[in-house]
Structure 1
Amino acid sequence: MKPDGQGKSPGQADRRSVLVWDLPTRLFHWLAVVLVAGAYATWRLNWMDWHVRIGEALLALVLFRLLWGCFGSETARFRSFVASPAAAFRHLRHGLRREADVQVGHNPAGGWMVLLLLALMLGETLSGLYINNDIADKGPLTEWVPASVANAITALHTILWDALLAAVALHMLAIALYAVAKGHNLLLPMLTGRKPLPARIATPRLASALLALLLLGVGAAAAALLTAYL
Structure 2
Amino acid sequence: MSERTQDRVPVRVWDGWIRLVHWAIALLIPLSWWTAHKGEMEWHMRSGYTILALLIFRLAWGLVGSDTARFSRFLRSPLEGLRHLSHLHRREPDTEIGHNAAGGWMVLALLGILLLQAVTGLFTDDGILTRGPLARSVPPDVADRARSIHLFNFNLILVAVGLHLLAVIAYAVLKGQDLVRPMVTGIKRLPGVLAGRAPRLGSPWLALALLLLAFGAVGWISRFE
**TM-score when normalising by structure 2:** 0.92
Residue matched to 2:222: 227
Q: CA deviation at 1:81?
A: 0.7
Bigger radius of gyration, 1 or 2? 1
Letter in 2 for 1:226: I
Match of 1:149 among 142, 148, 152: 142
- Give the distance between the partners of 1:41 and 1:137, measured in 2 at CA: 18
| Aligned residue number for residue 106 of structure 2 | 113
> What is the CA-CA distance between 1:224 and the residue it aligns to?
2.1
Cα distance, 1:12–1:221 mapped onto 2, change above 3 Å: farther
Superimposed CA distance per residue, residues 92-135 of structure 1 (whole angstroms, 9 cap, x where no aligned partner): 11122111110010011110110111111111111112215976
Measure the CA separation in 2 of the matches of 1:125 and 1:142: 13
Q: Contact conserved, 2:126 with 2:147, CA < 8 A, in 1? A: no
Query: Which of 85, 100, 105 is matched with 1:92 structurally?
Result: 85
SS in 1 for 2:202: coil
Gapped regions of structure 1 (runs ≥ 5): none
8 Å Cα contact 1:21-1:75 kept in structure 2: yes
| Aligned with 1:208 (options 187, 198, 203) | 203
Identical residues among aligned pairs (%): 42
User: AA paired with 2:58?
Assistant: R
Which residue of 147, 160, 182 maps to 2:153? 160
**What amino acid maps onto 1:169 in structure 2?**
G
Distance in 2 between the 1:44 and 1:171 partners?
A: 24
**Cα displacement (A) at 1:200:** 2.0
Cα displacement (A) at 1:211:
1.3
Alignment CA distance shift 1:214-1:144 (3 Å): closer
8 Å CA contact retained: 2:123, 2:132: no
**Distance verdict in 2 for CA 1:48–1:13, change over 3 Å:** same
Shift of residue 205, structure 1, vs aligned partner: 0.5
Change beyond 3 A, Cα 1:54–1:137: closer
Which ranges in structure 2 are unaligned for 5 or more consecutive residues? none
| Aligned-pair CA distance for 1:137 | 6.2
Deviations 1:3-36 (A, max 9, x none): xx7xxx5234132110011111111110111111
Q: Which amino acid aligns with 1:208?
A: S
CA shift at 1:198, angstroms? 1.6
- 1:138 Cα deviation from its structure 2 partner: 7.6
8 Å CA contact retained: 1:64, 1:219: yes
Q: Which runs of 4+ in 1 moved over 3 A?
A: 132-139, 141-144
Distance 1:229 1:115 in 2: 29
Indicate the residue corresponding to 1:78 in structure 2: 71
Q: CA RMSD in A?
A: 1.9
Corresponding position: 1:190 with 2:183? yes
Q: Give the aligned residue type for 1:218.
A: L
2:32–2:47 CA contact under 8 A, matched in 1: yes
SS at match of 1:52: helix
Kept in 2, the 8 Å contact 1:52–1:132? The answer is: no
Question: How has the CA–CA distance of structure 1 residues 45 and 90 changed in structure 2, closer, same or farther, with 3 Å as cutoff?
Answer: same
Calculate the TM-score normalised by the size of structure 1: 0.90
